[in-house]
Chain A
Amino acid sequence: MKNEDLIAKLKTIVQPYVQDEDAFKNLSEETTFVGDLKINSANLVDIILDVEDEFDIRIENEEMEQMLSVKAAMAIVNSKITS
């Protein structure tokens, strides 16, 4: 999947849980979910579950702990959908 398509899909998933709208407007690969977007820990789980459904993948505990930024999320999704 092209990077911009992947980011667009992630943005759609993340949007309902975002607390910092300005950070969301300027979202890049470097954006972090908790630090920048001010998403709480429970909603981070919701995002992971939505990502699993959207891409039909299964994310493990260790991977979830690494999914702190858009970039990390993209890497994990890419490794799962291409494998």
Chain B
Amino acid sequence: MTSKDIISLLPYEAPFLFVDGLSKISEAGATGYYTFKETEYFYKGHFKAHPVTPGVILTECMAQIGVVCLGIYLLKDEITENFKPEIALTSSAVDFYLPVFPGETVTVISEKTVFRFHKLKCNVKLFNQKEELVCRGTISGMLKPKGND
């Protein structure tokens, strides 16, 4: 399964897709990247006349790359033609260290800690282009192929 296959199976699209590509994926974890365009819709209001990427969006980016892309890869043996992953974020605990401004490219690195009974839990880190740690945390979700318990 290529990273293109994985991204095409993601249930998101613009303006809420925060994955440009994956550079590494295995049973143990995923690495991917995203560039925050200056035209992203949330910069209009966060903050007034001072655009900064919201923490919830950074968390979303970490979840899409680190948990959902990895989860689709882990489910690859259950994939059928009509495969649609059914996903739900179930918990997140993230600490933030640095801001991300419009135009920055971020890299997300996740490590699987638990994947059982359709629950995927990962330690996830997000870095900026200077390879500085922007935020890190633990994110969990439930993932299963649709119509298949």
Contacts and interface: CB of A to CB of B under 8 A. Distances in A.
Interface of A: 40-43, 45-46, 48-49, 61, 64-65
Per DSSP, chain A at the interface is helix
Contact residue range for chain B? Answer: 10 to 19
Interface string B24-53: 000000000000000000000000000000
Contacts of A64: 117
A42 B149 contact: no
Contacts, number: 28
17 contacts: A41-B118, A41-B142, A42-B88, A42-B90, A42-B119, A42-B140, A42-B142, A43-B90, A45-B114, A45-B117, A45-B119, A45-B142, A46-B119, A48-B116, A48-B117, A49-B114, A64-B117
A64 B116 CA distance: 11
A65 to B, nearest CB: 7
B116 A42 contact: no
A42 B138 CA distance: 14
Interface of B: 88, 90-91, 114, 116-119, 140-142, 149
A42 B114 contact: no
A46 to B, nearest CB: 8
Contacts of B88: 41-42
A40 B91 CA distance: 11
A45 B116 contact: yes
Contacts of A48: 116-117
Contacts of A49: 114, 116
A57 to B, nearest CB: 14
A37 to B, nearest CB: 16
The 4 closest A-B CB pairs, nearest first, are A42-B90, A45-B119, A45-B117, A42-B119
Contact of A61 (B117, B119, B140, B141): B117
Nearest to B115: A45
A67 to B, nearest CB: 10
Contacts of A61: 117
Contacts of A46: 119
Given A42-B140, A43-B90, A65-B149, 11 more contacts: A40-B90, A41-B90, A41-B142, A42-B91, A42-B119, A42-B141, A45-B114, A45-B118, A45-B142, A46-B119, A64-B117
